[in-house]
Amino acid sequence: MKRPLLMLMVLLLFAPLWALSIVPRDIEQPFDSVKELEAVDFSMPLAPNQRAWVDKTEVHLLTVGPGDPLYAWFGHSALIITQPSGTKVMYDWGIFDPEQKHFYLNFAQGRMYYYVVASAAEWRIEEALEEMRDVKLVKLDFSAESKFGLISFLQRHIKTEYSTYLYHFYYDNCATRIRDIINAATEGDFQAWAEEQMAEDSLRSVTIPAMIHSPLVFWVLDFLQGKTIDKPMNRYEELFLPEKLHQAVVDYSALYPHKLATSTEVLQEVDELGVRFAVEEGRSSFVWAYALVGLAIGALLLFLEKRFPRIRSVLLGLLMLALALLGALLLFMMLFSDMDMTYFNENILFVHPLLSIPAFGFLLQQKQRSRMVGISAVVMVVLVVMKLLIPSAALQDNLRTIALLLPIYLSGATFQRRSNIQKH
């Protein structure tokens, strides 16, 4: 029995390498707006009637602050076109339909198909105001030629055959689609300006302020994502967040008003009303907070070991079972999904499906200690030492995960041979 378990453990430790077969896969993007934008001439001379029409047309960037559902924590971006007649049309890239064919299968495989819709802007804005969310409008004064090209692209984009795209939280969402349109309308100058500025955060750390208000949800999402989101990034790459896009557009226009002039209108601010969590900018990693929670849980388990061993074994068993399920989810996402942010995830080395073995040992046999848990604890210690002594080896920002779990693992670990473990 020992050898099969050892072989399974070894295979599991090399699970990140299996993701190599996934990374090179070419995932078809139904509508790549960057490529389509390259075909648009934003400097094409306009006929007198076209210029007269576009001069009476306005373009606004709408930025909506965080909402209550998880998918709304990061806010929302859209474009609004005000036609000469006064009609306001909102172009929104944040729409998905759970009724679409194979939706849940695609979702499980990490393929979220979103699409753009054009709708009346007034009721969409009113909806955001009623939800008590921040609402800001930035008027985008492009040249007449750029504005005409932008509007022509939008009108083509909402047609059925061009409306669907493959969503990616970091690389292709409601904000990045607009970012790319603004960049094309400035003939690439917006991107060149933003890429000259290195962002202070990685993709992982820049999202912390919007999620840390829910520590457990944040920890799980943080756990599931691997090293691919821990690379340094420039300012253009962080514009997947609506608020970052809003600020970048304002900053760019302040430097280059001849290319993009803006004026901002704040329709509603709710930060001081205490309606929901506030997104506070900062660079705290919160490792200390998760370490304190982990130490508290570990201390509780050690206390229960002597006085209430049965309660302790049940609690420890349930914790290990939950972690085994979480490890199984991570393994599935690494091997069988297109969610590339989960690939090469170090956490699979110590949170894996094999934790179900000690879990049932704790629950059914009332064991108090486990060698497998001990091995996983050693793996965590080795990772921490490597990150401290060899900074170049710190490829993944997972100290929050380790800080929470290491004290818990140590409280249920043994490093003795099986024959020497005391049975309780």
Q: What is the pLDDT of residues 258-290, one digit of tens each?
A: 889 889 999 999 988 888 888 877 678 899 999
Residue 136 within any structural domain of the chain = yes
Domain that holds residue 384: 2-18+285-420
Q: Is 111 domain-assigned?
A: yes
Terminal Cα distance for the chain, rounded: 22
Tell me whether residue 58 is in a domain. Answer: yes
User: pLDDT digit string (tens) for 173-213?
Assistant: 999 999 999 999 999 999 999 999 998 789 999 999 999 99
Q: Are both 8 and 83 inside the same structural domain?
A: no
Asked if residue 225 belongs to a domain, the reply is no
Question: Does residue 259 sit in the same domain as residue 344?
Answer: no
Domain boundary among 224, 249, 273: 273
Return the structure tokens found at 98. Answer: 């759970």
* In-domain check, residue 257: yes
269 and 289 belong to one structural domain: no
- How many domains are there within the chain? 2
pLDDT in tens, 400-411: 999 999 999 999
Residue 26 belongs to a domain: no
325 found inside a domain: yes
At 337-384, the pLDDT tens digits run 889 999 999 999 999 999 999 999 999 987 888 899 999 999 999 999
Instruction: Tell whether 246 and 322 lie within a shared domain.
Output: no
Q: Decide: 92 and 78 in contact? Cβ < 8 Å.
A: yes
Same domain, 123 and 165: yes
pTM summary value: 0.90
| Mean pLDDT, the chain, integer | 89
Nearest partner of 228 among 76, 14, 19, judged by Cα: 19
Is 356 among the domain residues?
A: yes
Q: What does the pLDDT look like over 152-181, one tens digit per residue?
A: 999 988 887 778 899 999 999 999 999 999
Question: 3-state DSSP call for residue 303?
Answer: helix
**Distances from the Cα of 191 to the Cα of 34, 98, 204, 240, 248, angstroms:** 12, 34, 21, 13, 10
